[in-house]
């Protein structure tokens, strides 16, 4: 039986079609009843993932094909969720590397592929979306071979099989010009090339690589049995990261079948299972033999590169919309997140109401904020800051490799914007009908860059970046070019006052919205901040004239997403996040307080 299990992880850059491919595998292996409603992107099962069209948390499913059980792990494509990918790769024996037939290997593909090759996993390359116009499958194949070579792949890994196809249309083939009817050529390639899960005899060893939570049984440990057999009701030792040992007992065991879990009495080495009944475990701990516990190598996760201040909401509109508003609520929620989000770190500050949260990047932190907001939390967050280290007495900061694909006629604008932020151009070459640019740039320089690049290229730039290394500090980077319009009064905005102030800048609020003193209402046309009154209405008299009363014409308000707001704010500003609203505000609400505390923010 033991040869009948294959464990495979699907890795790819964001938007190259991982989750869509898993959909097709699930359908073609007849997991569903004929009358069952399934929809698309079956594995992206929380609202945030569906809205953004990205995978945030890795998922396990299994299918049966030719009497072989194939455990499939769908992984996130963003480097911000690298912590998630690094640990789930430990459960796999092989990887499906998915690539877009036009875009080819992107920076984040490189990041995940490097981790997979270092673990010695056997790759199968799938060149997806060959039905797209201007696709270039042969070039992409060459590019991937070169990538593997540069990442020190072994000879065996370099002889990877390649499958072409379109997950959306549901076909795969060994030749991209020959369209087939189904995706079975890919399934056959998995059986032929991915080694069976090894059956290691001996005492029990299983590393916990991810978590699940159930309101009935509490926390559930998920991992792959590395050695021996795990049984229901078996006494075990839990070996913690620091080597300490806790005695425990397994209450229930589940294996993954289809989209769900099935109860099992015992699970052999090589299979992935979920364990109920173990208390106080963390990701990376080892479930081992009761009498002779042996620890598996602890998972090492790359360190966070960015931090943000999370604090309670103390604005005048505090507590109007959220259920959880106190510092105790915010603290408990952040520590709960730290249990399952390995790349996240929470540090208490001198103030009992504020916490520094360390993460992998803006997207990583914004997903946490968005999740908390949907759960009913109210909080405020400060400007994202990169983590600066001192290495051998030299102040160093994180440097990233940034790639931008843009139409040739606007490449000059992009180069100008990136070099202003201390970026260095390394590569400039044609890629299809686009210009491919590669830069090295400090992580600080990337914050706020995306909006400017998209504006300059009329939305046609494709940007991606990955962490490279810590290098010496590159000097001062200019922040936001324009100042902001700050509210002078608390009340409701009026169309009359917005209309009269339109020549002063662009507004973020519509007429008839509640605002408070110190809230940021728009962007000034100059580089200084301006205090404005949007609450003032028109002086009403009982005289009316048909010609002299103006019709109010107002430009639409600019609406920022959470990530755009995080990139927009400066050191003296907060974003107030509540379940229904998001406002940008000054830390000090009155103009007098801002003048007194102005010096605090000069050097930031």
- Binding region for GTP: 15-20, 128-131
From CA 203, how far away is CA 197, in angstroms rounded?
17
How far is Cα 437 from Cα 107, in angstroms, rounded to an integer?
12
* Bridge partners for 531 per DSSP: 486
Neighbours of 168 (CB within 10 A): 16
Q: What are phi and psi of 493, to 5 degrees?
A: -70, 150
Question: Biggest alpha carbon distance in the chain?
Answer: 96
Annotated binding site: 15-20, 128-131
Please report, in angstroms and rounded to a whole number, the separation of the first and last CA atoms in the chain.
Answer: 62
Question: How many whole angstroms separate alpha carbon 315 and alpha carbon 308?
Answer: 19
Q: 41-75 in b/e burial notation, b at 16+ Cβ within 10 A?
A: ebbbeeeebeebebbbbbbbbbbebeebbbbbbbb
Q: Are the beta carbons of 183 and 173 closer than 8 angstroms?
A: no
Question: Collapsing DSSP states into helix, strand and coil, what is residue 295?
Answer: coil
Can you tell me the distance from the alpha carbon of 433 to that of 436, in angstroms, rounded to the nearest whole number?
10
Q: Which residues contact 472 (CB under 8 A, 6 or more apart)?
A: 394, 395, 396, 397
Return d(Cα 305, Cα 147) in angstroms, integer. Answer: 25
């Amino acid at each position: 039986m033991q040869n009948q299990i294959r464990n495979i992880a699907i890795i790819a850059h964001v938007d190259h079609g991982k989750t869509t491919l898993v959909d097709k595998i699930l359908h073609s292996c007849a997991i569903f009843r004929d009358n069952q409603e399934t929809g698309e992107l079956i594995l992206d099962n929380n609202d945030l993932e569906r809205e953004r069209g990205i995978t945030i948390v890795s998922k396990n499913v299994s299918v049966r094909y030719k009497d072989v059980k194939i455990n499939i792990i769908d992984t996130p494509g963003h480097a911000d969720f690298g912590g998630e990918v690094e640990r789930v790769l430990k459960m796999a024996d092989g990887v499906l590397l998915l690539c877009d037939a036009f875009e080819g290997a992107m920076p984040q593909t490189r990041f995940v592929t490097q981790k997979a090759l270092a673990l010695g996993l056997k790759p199968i390359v799938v060149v997806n979306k060959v039905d797209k116009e201007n696709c270039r499958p042969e070039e992409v194949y060459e590019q991937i071979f070169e990538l593997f070579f540069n990442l020190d792949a072994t000879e065996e890994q370099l002889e990877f099989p390649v499958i072409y196809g379109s997950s959306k249309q549901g076909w795969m083939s060994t030749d991209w010009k020959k369209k087939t009817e189904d995706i079975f050529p890919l399934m056959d390639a998995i059986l032929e090339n991915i080694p069976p899960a090894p059956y290691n005899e001996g005492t029990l060893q299983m590393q916990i690589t991810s978590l699940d939570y159930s309101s009935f049984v509490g926390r559930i440990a998920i991992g792959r049995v590395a050695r021996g057999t795990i049984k229901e009701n078996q006494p075990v030792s839990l070996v913690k990261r620091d080597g300490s040992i806790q005695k425990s007992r397994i209450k229930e065991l589940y294996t993954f079948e289809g989209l769900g879990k099935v109860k099992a009495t015992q699970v052999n080495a090589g299979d992935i299972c979920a364990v109920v009944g173990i208390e106080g475990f963390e990701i990376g701990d080892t479930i081992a033999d009761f009498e002779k516990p042996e620890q598996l190598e602890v998972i090492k996760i790359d360190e966070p590169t960015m931090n943000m201040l999370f604090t309670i909401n103390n604005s005048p509109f505090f507590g109007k919309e959220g259920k959880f508003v106190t510092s105790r609520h915010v603290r408990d929620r952040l520590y709960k997140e730290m249990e399952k989000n390995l790349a996240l770190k929470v540090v208490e500050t001198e103030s009992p109401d504020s916490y520094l949260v360390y993460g992998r990047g803006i997207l990583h932190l914004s997903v946490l904020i968005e999740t908390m907001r949907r759960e009913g939390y109210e909080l405020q967050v400060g400007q994202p800051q990169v983590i600066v280290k001192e290495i051998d007495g030299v102040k160093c900061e994180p440097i990233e490799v940034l790639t931008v694909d843009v139409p040739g006629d606007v490449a000059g604008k992009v180069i100008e914007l990136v070099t202003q932020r201390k970026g260095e151009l390394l590569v400039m070459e044609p890629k299809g009908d686009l210009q491919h640019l590669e830069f090295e740039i400090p992580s600080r320089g990337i914050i706020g860059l995306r909006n400017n690049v998209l504006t300059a290229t009329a939305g046609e730039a494709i940007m991606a970046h990955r962490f490279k290394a810590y290098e010496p500090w590159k000097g001062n980077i200019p922040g936001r070019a324009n100042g902001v319009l700050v509210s002078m009064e608390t009340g409701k905005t009026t169309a009359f006052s917005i209309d009269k102030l339109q020549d002063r800048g662009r507004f973020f609020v519509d007429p008839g919205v509640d605002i408070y003193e110190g809230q940021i209402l728009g962007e000034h046309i100059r580089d200084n901040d301006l205090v404005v009154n949007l609450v003032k209405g028109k002086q009403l008299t009982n005289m009316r004239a048909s010609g002299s009363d103006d019709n109010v014409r107002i430009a639409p308000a600019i609406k920022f997403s959470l990530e755009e707001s995080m990139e927009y704010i400066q050191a003296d500003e907060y974003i107030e996040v509540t379940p229904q609203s998001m406002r940008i505000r000054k830390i000090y609400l009155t103009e007098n307080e801002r003048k007194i505390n102005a010096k605090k923010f000069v050097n930031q």
